[in-house]
Structure 1
C-alpha cells in the first residue's frame, strides 16, 4: 500500500458507511409504502431480509472471486449485479420478485465486504481504526437529518420505485475508493461453503415459517450453529476478550437492527401514526448513535459497551409500550445514544487479536459474520412475527429487547 493508502482506505470505509446510511433510510422509510403497493403486509420478512440473505450467500464467493479476477474486475462484476438487483426490485410487482432483487443487490455488496474490512484491519492500526469507526458513525448524521424527509419527498414526486435507486452513486463512490487504496486482494482465505450457507438457509426457513414456531425455531437454530462454526473458539461460551465481544455483536445485531427495520411499520400500523411522523422517529436513533460515537471514541472506560447496550435495551422496550410522538422520539433517540456509547469500543474489541493469534482475515470474517448474522436473524424473526398480526409485531419488540439485554451482559465479559 502506498503512503497515501491508509488515508484513502479510511475515506473509502467512511464513504461506504455513508452509502449504508442512505440505503438504510431509504429502505426503512419506504417499507410501509412498498408493503401496501405489493400487497405484502403478511410477507414483511421477505421484504426486509433479502439483502442480508444475499450477503451471506456472497461471503463464500468473495475471496474466490477476488483471487481469480482481482479487485477491479470484482468491483465491476459486483456493481453490475448490484444495479441489476436494484432494477429488479424497482420494477417488481410481487414481494417475491422484490426480495429476489434485494437478494441480488446484497450478494453484490458481499463480494467486496470481506475485502474492505480485512484491508482496514490489516492496514489501519487500532488508534486509527477506532477513529474511522467514530467518523463512520458520524456519516449517519446528515442522512438521519435529511434522509427520511428527502425519501418521502422523492417518493411523492417520482414514486417509490425510482426512489429506491437513490443510494447508487454513494455506493459506487465508496467501493471505488477502497479498491483504489488496496489494489491487490488481501489475505482472504476461502470461506467454507457448507457452514457459511447454513446461516442464510436457516434464516430463510424463519422467513418462510410465517410465524409457525416449529420451523422458525429450527431455522434460527441452524443459523446460530452455522455462525458459531465460523467463530473463534470460545465465542459460544462468551469467553472474555474477542470471543465475548463477537457474541455481544451478534446479539446487538438481532436487537437493534431488527427493531430498526420494523419501526416505521410499528409506528404506522401499531400506533396509527403518519408516515411522516414515523420517518422523523426513525432518524432519532441513528442521529443519536452518530453524534455520541464522536465522543465515545475519545473515552477509554471498558464499561461503556455494557452501559450503552443496556440503555438501548430499555429504549427498545419503551418503544413497544407506545406513547405520544415526543415520548417515542425521545425513547428511540436514547436508544441511539446507547449504541453510540457501545459500538466503537465493542467493534475494536471484536477486531483486536491481542494474544489470541487471530489473523486479519479471521477477524474480518468473524466480525462480519457476527453482526450480519444478528441483523439477518433480527429481521427474519421480526418479519415472521410481524407478518402474523399486530400482536406479533409487538412480540417481535419483546424479542429485540431481550436480545439487547443479553448483549449488554455479554459485553461485560472483557479481557
Structure 2
C-alpha cells in the first residue's frame, strides 16, 4: 500500500518565492508612485521651466517610448530571459529620472520622460515573462493580484506626497527620490529569481523584429499625435487626423492577425482589455471635472472618488486571485461592472442624487476592472506556447496603450464638440465597456494554445 503525502500549498510569500515577490511588488509600486506623483507635480514643473506648451508632450513622450520598448522587450525576454531586459529597463528608468530631475529646460525634461518610458516599457513586459518562468501556473492569478495591489498605495498617497514635496522641498526630488530606491528593489528581484528566469541563450534574432520596431515607432508617433492633437481642440485637428491615419496603417502590423475582427482566442486579448481599460481611463478624465464643476467637490474630494476606484480594483483582483470567480465571469462580468459603474456615476449630474453614489459607482467599476485586467494577463500566459510569452504580452500591452489613447481622445473630442456634455462623453465610454463584454466569450473560449500572431478564428 502506497501512502500519498500531500505537499503543503505554495504561496507567493512562501520561502521559495518571498524575495522575488517582494522585489516584484517594490518595483511595480515605484513605477506606479512615479506615475501618480509626476501627474500631480507636472503643472508646477511646466510653469517653473517655462514649458506649458510642452505639457502634454511630457506624457505623450513616455507613452510613445513604452510602446517601442514593449515590442523590443517582449521578444528579448523570450530569447534571453526576462532579467536582461529588466536590468536594462531599470537602468533606463533611473537614467530618465535623473535627466528629468536635473532638467534645466522643459525640452530636456521631455527627453528624460522619453527615456523613462523606454525603461518602464522594458520592465513591464519582462515582468510578465518573469511570472511565467518563476511561478507555477496556479500562482499566476495571485501574482497579478499583487500587481494590482501594488498600485493602490501609490494611488492613495502619491498625489499627497508629491504635493508636499513640491510645496515644501523641490519638485526635482520626486524624480531623484524614486531613482534612489529603484535599483535596490531590482537587486532584490534579481536575487529572488535566481536562475529560474533564464532564457535558452541560443536563439538568434527574432525574424521580422526590425520591421516590428519600425511599426512600433510609427504606432508610438501616431499615439502621441492623437493624444497631443486632441488636447488642442480645433487647432489640433490636423495632428489628430494625421495620427489616426498613421495608426490605421501601423497598428495592424503589431496586433495579431484577426485581432481587429476579434478572432477567437488569443487575438482578442489586446482588443478586449484595451476596450475595457480604455473605457475606464477615458471616463476618469471626465469624472473629476464633472464632480468639481457640477457638484462642487474640491479637487481633494474628487480625488477620493478615484481612490475608491483603485481600492475596488485591488479588491477585484484579490477575489479573482482566490479562484472563486471563473474566467468568463471575470471577463464579461468585469466589463459589465465597468459599464454599470460609469452609468451610475453619470446620475450624479442630477442634483437630487446624493454624491455618495459616486463612491459606490467607482467601487463597482474598480471591482470590475480588477477582476478583468489580471484575468486577461493570466490567460494570455496560459494560452502561449513556451518561448512566446514575451511577444504575446507585448502585443497585449501595445493594444491596451493604443486603445486607451484613442478612447481618451475620442471621449475628449465628443465632450468638447457637444459643448461639454458629460453624458455624451461618458456614454461613449459605457459603449466601449459593453463592447468588451460582448467580445469576452470570444477570448474565454479559445480554439487552443498558440501565439498571438497568425492565430485564426
Of 145, 151, 155, the match for 1:134: 145
In structure 1, what is the Cα distance between the partners aligned to 2:73 and 2:411? 28
Residues 351 and 367, structure 1, Cα contact 8 Å, conserved in 2: no
Correspondent of 1:335 among 357, 362, 365: 365
Per-residue CA deviations over 1:52-84 (Å, capped at 9, x if unaligned) read 211123235547988999988766654443234
CA contact (8 A) 2:71 2:394 kept: no
Structure-2 separation of matches of 1:103 and 1:240? 35
Deviation of the 1:271 alpha carbon: 6.1
Query: Counterparts of 1:242-281 in structure 2 under 5 Å?
Result: 242-260=266-284, 273-281=297-305
| Matched positions, count | 412
Aligned to 2:225: 205
Give runs of aligned pairs for residues 205-244 of structure 1, distance below 5 A. Answer: 205-209=225-229, 210-211=232-233, 212-213=236-237, 215-223=239-247, 225-244=249-268
Displacement of 1:25: 2.6
| Distance (Å, rounded) in 1 between the aligned partners of 2:434 and 2:175 | 34
Residue matched to 1:306? 332
Match of 2:6 in 1: none
Partner residue, 1:411:
440
Q: Secondary structure at the match of 1:334?
A: helix
Q: Which deviates more from structure 2 when the two are superposed, residues 284-293 or residues 180-189?
A: 180-189
Contact 1:78-1:109 at 8 Å conserved across structures: yes
- Distance change >3 Å, CA 41–CA 362, structure 1 → 2: same
Aligned counterpart in structure 1 of residue 199 of structure 2, from 175, 186, 191: 186
1:11-90 matches, within 5 Å, as 11-30=22-41, 33=44, 45-62=56-73, 78-90=89-101
How has the CA–CA distance of structure 1 residues 391 and 50 changed in structure 2, closer, same or farther, with 3 Å as cutoff?
farther
Query: Secondary structure of the residue that 2:260 maps to in structure 1?
Result: coil
Bigger Cα displacement from structure 2, 127-136 vs 367-376? 367-376
- Residues 310-319 or 269-278, more deviating: 269-278
Deviates more, 1:190-199 or 1:89-98: 89-98
Distance 1:92 1:383, change over 3 A: farther
Q: Based on CA coordinates, which of the two structures has the bigger radius of gyration?
A: 2
Q: Distance in 1 between matches of 2:63 and 2:116?
A: 9
TM-score normalized by the length of structure 1: 0.80
Deviation at 1:340, TM superposition (A): 1.7
Deviations 1:85-127 (Å, cap 9, x if unpaired)? Answer: 2344445577655433322211122234433322322343321
Q: Partner of 2:356 in structure 1? A: 326
CA distance in 2, matches of 1:266, 1:87: 36
Residues 134/75 of structure 1: CA separation in 2 closer, same or farther (3 Å cut): closer
Could you tell me whether the CA contact under 8 Å between 1:119 and 1:186 is conserved in 2? no
Distance across 2 between alignment mates of 1:43 and 1:386: 23
Alignment-derived partner of residue 100 in structure 1: 111
Q: TM-score, normalised by structure 2?
A: 0.74
Aligned equivalents of 1:400 and 1:93: distance in 2?
Answer: 39
Q: How big is the shift at 1:132?
A: 0.4
- 1 or 2 for the larger relative contact order (CA 8 Å, sep ≥6)? 1
Note closer, same or farther for the CA distance 1:344–1:116 as it changes in structure 2 (3 Å cut): closer
Residues 268-318 of structure 1: CA distance to partner in whole angstroms, max 9, x if unpaired?
A: 577664332233223111111102211122223222211212221233355
Helix, strand or coil at the partner of 1:352: helix
